[in-house]
């Protein structure tokens, strides 16, 4: 069964450093998403991406965040200058169609620890 | 998106049937009800979706009454591996892209 993959599984970085989290969505999917989950809290939407542009973003997704699909397979989330409060599990997801009606397939997550 | 309300937590013994009810009083005509499951330290996973009456798949059943103001996820004969958080979401093709997970229902299955 096709699955979303994410690398690395765990990233430790110092405050102020840039990090790039990588995802390989399911190959025939066209819609891509990033969510995060701070330890013990709910899963929060960050951004959705379709046709090489952001289709929706949350208040969390400020100027410190950016997304990119650098090639035909990868989808990345960059945090320019990490803060302690960016420590969380980051999940990538993809779907064949957009809108909440359609199933989103989630990756295993990247645990980001900012020290 | 319609607001949903579900219990914060539930406990069950192995082998029992578990029913998790979700209230969505302001569900819109075009909205579907979708349930996701999240195991500890994993991403959420789609379980089941329905519009009305009853939907069943290999994992669960979803019961939706005629007024559609609530829905019940039914897990038959749970096992320890069903320990997870279960999220009820309501939306349509016009609801945007963001899944609003809320706090979900944390199900603990014990021997």
User: CB–CB of A99 and B92 under 8 A?
Assistant: yes
**pLDDT, tens digit, for every residue of A13-68?**
999 999 999 999 999 999 999 999 999 999 999 999 999 999 999 999 999 999 99
The predicted pLDDT at position B20 comes to 98
The residues, ordered by sequence, that sit 6+ positions from B29 with a Cβ below 8 Å of its Cβ are: none
pLDDT tens string B22-78: 999 999 999 999 999 999 989 999 999 999 999 999 999 999 999 999 999 999 999
A35 CB within 8 Å of a chain B CB: yes
Nearest to B43 among A42, A45, A91 (CB): A91
Q: What percent of chain A has pLDDT over 90?
A: 90
Q: How far is A80 from chain B (nearest CA, A)?
A: 23
How many whole angstroms from its chain centre is CA B62?
8
Q: Which residue has the higher pLDDT, B96 or A92?
A: A92
| 3-state SS string for A37-65 | ECCCCCEEEEEEEECCEEEEECCCCCCCE
Give per-residue pLDDT as tens, A66-86.
999 988 889 999 999 999 999
């Amino acid at each position: 069964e096709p699955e979303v993959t994410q690398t690395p599984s765990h990233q430790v970085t110092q405050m102020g450093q840039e990090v790039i989290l990588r995802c390989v969505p399911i190959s025939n999917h066209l819609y891509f998403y990033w969510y995060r989950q701070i330890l013990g809290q709910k899963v929060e939407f960050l951004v959705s991406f379709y046709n090489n542009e952001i289709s929706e973003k949350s208040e969390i997704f400020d100027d410190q965040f950016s997304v990119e699909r650098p090639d035909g397979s990868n989808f990345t989330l960059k945090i320019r200058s990490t803060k302690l409060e960016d420590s969380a599990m980051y999940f990538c997801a993809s779907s064949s169609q957009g809108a909440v009606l359609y199933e989103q397939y989630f990756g295993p997550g990247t645990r980001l620890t900012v020290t | 998106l319609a607001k949903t309300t579900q219990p914060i937590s539930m406990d069950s013994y192995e082998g029992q049937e578990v029913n998790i009810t979700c209230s969505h009083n302001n569900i819109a005509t075009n909205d579907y009800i979708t349930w996701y499951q999240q195991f500890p330290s994993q991403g959420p996973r789609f379980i089941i979706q329905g519009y009305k009456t009853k939907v069943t798949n290999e994992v669960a059943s979803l019961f939706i009454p005629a007024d559609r103001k609530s829905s019940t996820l039914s897990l038959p004969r749970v096992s320890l591996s069903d320990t997870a958080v279960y999220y009820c979401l309501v939306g349509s093709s016009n609801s945007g892209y963001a899944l609003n997970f809320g706090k979900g229902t944390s199900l603990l299955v014990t021997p």
